[in-house]
Amino acid sequence: MFEMLAGYNDWANRRLYDAAAGLADADYRADHSAFFGSVHGTLNHLLVGDRVWMHRFTGEGPSPTRLDEILYDDFAGLRAAREAEDARIMAYVASLARSDLDGTIRYRTISRGYRAGAEARAATCLQPPDPSPRSGALPVDADHRRGTVARPDPLSA
């Protein structure tokens, strides 16, 4: 099942990047009042998220420090990094499948990484960056709407 999901992730990302490649650069970089601004910011964020998770699962590789970090300013570099990360995800999942025929280690390893990530998010109140004031988007919960919860740097812990 995990191998299928990793393959689906790779397929979906290829389709997403094919669609983004068809955008004019001005449209690709325009602020669309989303959490990460532009399509470019959102694609960088998706790569950031996968790198954070892979670092949690493996203890290796880059681990960005901000969810809105721009890892690559050019589309070609970002696409190449996305393809490399998807290959890394698929290789990692395949290595788990080879290491355990009955699935026990595979499930425990992946769920342990998920629990570690959930604990890190809970400990740091991980939230997307504040929305643009002109976007009209509301923060994610009532405490944030009232302004009663401090928003620490999400990945600084």
* pLDDT tens column, 49-90: 999 999 999 999 998 999 999 999 999 999 999 999 999 999
In this prediction, residue 108 carries a pLDDT of: 55
- Rounded to whole angstroms, the Cα distance separating 76 from 83 reads 11
Q: pTM above 0.75?
A: no
In this prediction, residue 96 carries a pLDDT of: 86
The 8-class DSSP code of residue 6 comes to H
**Contact at 8 Å (CB) between 44 and 77?**
no
Half-sphere exposure of 85 toward its Cβ, with a 13 Å CA cutoff?
25
- Rounded to whole angstroms, the Cα distance separating 108 from 2 reads 12
Task: Point out the residues of the chain with pLDDT beneath 50.
Answer: 122-152, 154, 157
- Rounded to whole angstroms, the Cα distance separating 117 from 67 reads 14
Short-list 8, 11, 6, CA closest to 94: 6
How far lies 52's CA from each of 30, 55, 61, 66, 156, in Å? 26, 5, 9, 10, 12
